[in-house]
Structure 1
Amino acid sequence: MIDKLIRATAADGGIRAVGVITTNLTEEARRKHNLSYVATAALGRSMASGLLLASSMKKEGSRVNIHVKGDGPLGTILADAGLDGTVRGYVQNPQVELPPNSQGKLDVGQAVGHNGYLHVVRDVGYGQPYSSTVELISGEVGEDIANYLVVSEQTPSALLVGVFVGANGVTAAGGVLLQIMPKAARDQSLVTLLESRISQLSGFTPLLRAGKTLREIMEQLLGDLDLFIFPEFHQVKFHCGCSFNRVLGALKMLGEAELQDMIEKDEGAEAVCQFCAEVYQANETQLTQLIADLKAE
């Protein structure tokens, strides 16, 4: 099953729904960063949430940056997602592992931490990016993102994200976001209904593992509310825009003295991209050229 995102409306346009499958891209992130089970779940939920949030943006090049900083052992979690369907991310302490919680599930809440902050930056493609920070309420990521939408964006929302990872890697990942549009936001019964529908589900990944498609999941949630699923879908993928030229540009910013020190002590320089774990190496000749460029400038 390919990774993809679909959009829908219901209740005469009063409900906006988005669903995304991120199984393959979450597995790619797991392999690139050598993530533990619980770190895979935390980052996978964050990346799926980022794609769901970015899907409502309008201008080409728009992106959403989700920064989770709790007091748990995973440390910082960062996911960066775009309207174009690309996403990347990393976990500060990727190999932390914890025992399952009391329900026998991966204890993401404990690994992230119950105290801390969720910082969301929306770059709409022009002007200054919009940013907002809210306190974590559980560390489970999905609940925290839904709380952010209510508190910061005043949009009643229900969000369900999940990742199933086993001995053979990630076999199911993704999520669904339901939001009440402004014209229907005063209808408290509609808000209560959405929360009830989400709470009745056993989770998102069990549905995928049972063979349910995004369309079938939408039908299960909203099929009796005049559901309309847009026919087109959007492919999503793990993608990082880092490059060797960007690394050279970053090294150049260190200045002549630092570059000369790298040449004398290490005979080169090595840089690792936080987002995709790609390793870049600049040799002595390339560093010497950077110094020459700085002198010429």
Structure 2
Amino acid sequence: MKDYLVRGLVNKRNARVFAVNTTNLTNKAREELGLWPCASAALGRTMAVTLMMGAMNKDQEKLTVNINGGGEMGTVLATTHCDGKIKGFVANPEVHYEYNSTKKLAVGMCVGNNGTLQVIRDMGLKQPMTSEVQLQTGEIGDDFAYYFYVSEQVPSVVSVGVLVDTDNSVLSAGGFIIQLLPEATDEDITFIENKMKGFPPVSDLIHQGKTPEEILEMIFGDEVEILAHQDVFYECDCSREKMAEALAALPDTELEAIINEDHGADLKCQFCHKSYHFSEDDLKQIQENKHQ
């Protein structure tokens, strides 16, 4: 099944809904970044929500989610231009714990909950808009539900999951978001709460072959109206030109030191691990262009 996202409305329940399958793109991130299972789960969950948040916004708005809970995994970051393409990284991908009682991935333990979830929206204005909340569990889904409630005042159900095989490959990944509209009644809230009691993990449903539409239909039946589909991909947009721009942005003294002491530079993209080499002559040309 290909990766894609759907956006819809449930008018009878005064809710808008989103659901996404991100299995292939999460597996691609795992392969390119060398993620261990907990890192695959943390980044996969974060990317699923980031893509669904992107579907809430205007096209080409850059949306970045930065999570750091003080755990061994360090920063978990995902960024998209709300066009279905996403990239991300984990500061320390080689961390792995399981909960003894369930043998499930201990994502919250690896991420930690002594930190923040930060959302940065860049709409091409002078300054991007940044909002931030304290992490609650580090399990990602609960933390985003808290973010929507506190930062955007939108009561939301956020369910995300990643199922990892014994060979560390990703068997399934994705999620769904249910957001109540201002017209929602107590009856609507009770209906959704009851539906969520004992609802299967979304990663299990995707592994069973359920599509994003079918998952939403399990909750709302034929009440859900799908408004849009969007294919989603893991794609890094790094380039030699962008790396040269990063070198040009360095302070003059730092760039001069790299030229005189290192006689060259090797830069690696944190999103895809592709390497770029700049010779001493390349750096001198960057320095010259910088002051033209």
Please state which band the TM-score falls in when normalised by the shorter chain. over 0.9
Change (3 A) 1:153 1:100: same
Q: 2:239 aligns with which of 236, 240, 243?
A: 243
Instruction: List aligned pairs for 1:173-184, cutoff 5 A.
Output: 173-184=173-184
In structure 2, distance between residues paired with 1:171 and 1:45: 14
Contact in 2 for aligned 1:160/1:198 (Cα 8 Å): no
Q: Residue 11 in 1 paired to residue 22 in 2? A: no
1:229 aligned partner: 226
1:281 aligned partner: 277
In structure 1, distance between residues paired with 2:139 and 2:255: 43
Q: What letter corresponds to residue 131 of structure 2 in structure 1?
A: S
Contact in 2 for aligned 1:61/1:125 (Cα 8 Å): no
Contact in 1 for aligned 2:42/2:111 (Cα 8 Å): yes
Change (3 A) 1:258 1:124: closer
What is the CA-CA distance between 1:256 and the residue it aligns to? Answer: 4.8
What is the CA-CA distance between 1:286 and the residue it aligns to? Answer: 1.0
- SS of match in other structure, 2:16: strand
- SS of match in other structure, 1:200: coil
In structure 2, distance between residues paired with 1:278 and 1:13: 47
Q: Which moved more, 1:149-158 or 1:129-138?
A: 129-138
In structure 2, distance between residues paired with 1:251 and 1:131: 26
In structure 2, distance between residues paired with 1:127 and 1:284: 34
Change (3 A) 1:281 1:196: farther
What does the per-residue CA deviation read over 1:6-57, in whole Å, with 9 as the maximum and x for residues that have no partner? Answer: 1111133711011111111111111111011101100100010101111111
What is the CA-CA distance between 1:290 and the residue it aligns to? Answer: 1.7
What does the per-residue CA deviation read over 1:225-259, in whole Å, with 9 as the maximum and x for residues that have no partner? Answer: x22123x4211111222211111111122255433
Q: What letter corresponds to residue 171 of structure 2 in structure 1?
A: T
What is the CA-CA distance between 1:260 and the residue it aligns to? Answer: 4.0
Q: Residue 57 in 1 paired to residue 54 in 2? A: no
In structure 1, distance between residues paired with 2:12 and 2:128: 32
Instruction: List aligned pairs for 1:156-167, cutoff 5 A.
Output: 156-166=155-165, 167=167
Change (3 A) 1:149 1:205: same
TM-score (norm: length of structure 1): 0.91
2:21 aligned partner: 21
Contact in 2 for aligned 1:7/1:19 (Cα 8 Å): yes
Contact in 2 for aligned 1:174/1:205 (Cα 8 Å): yes
- SS of match in other structure, 1:12: helix
Show structure 1 runs of 4+ deviating over 6 A.
Answer: none
1:130 aligned partner: 129
Contact in 2 for aligned 1:15/1:181 (Cα 8 Å): yes
1:210 aligned partner: 208
Contact in 1 for aligned 2:8/2:18 (Cα 8 Å): yes
What is the CA-CA distance between 1:61 and the residue it aligns to? Answer: 1.1
In structure 2, distance between residues paired with 1:260 and 1:67: 32
1:95 aligned partner: 94
- SS of match in other structure, 1:29: helix
> Percent of counterpart pairs with the same letter?
39
TM-score (norm: length of structure 2): 0.93
In structure 1, distance between residues paired with 2:66 and 2:197: 26
1:272 aligned partner: 268
What is the CA-CA distance between 1:277 and the residue it aligns to? Answer: 1.9
1:144 aligned partner: 143
What is the CA-CA distance between 1:291 and the residue it aligns to? Answer: 2.7
1:118 aligned partner: 117
> How many pairs were matched up?
291
Change (3 A) 1:159 1:256: closer
What is the CA-CA distance between 1:219 and the residue it aligns to? Answer: 0.8
Contact in 1 for aligned 2:37/2:168 (Cα 8 Å): no
CA RMSD of aligned residues (A): 1.8
What is the CA-CA distance between 1:196 and the residue it aligns to? Answer: 3.1
Q: What letter corresponds to residue 208 of structure 2 in structure 1?
A: A
What is the CA-CA distance between 1:124 and the residue it aligns to? Answer: 3.8
What is the CA-CA distance between 1:292 and the residue it aligns to? Answer: 2.7
In structure 2, distance between residues paired with 1:127 and 1:57: 19
In structure 2, distance between residues paired with 1:125 and 1:197: 40
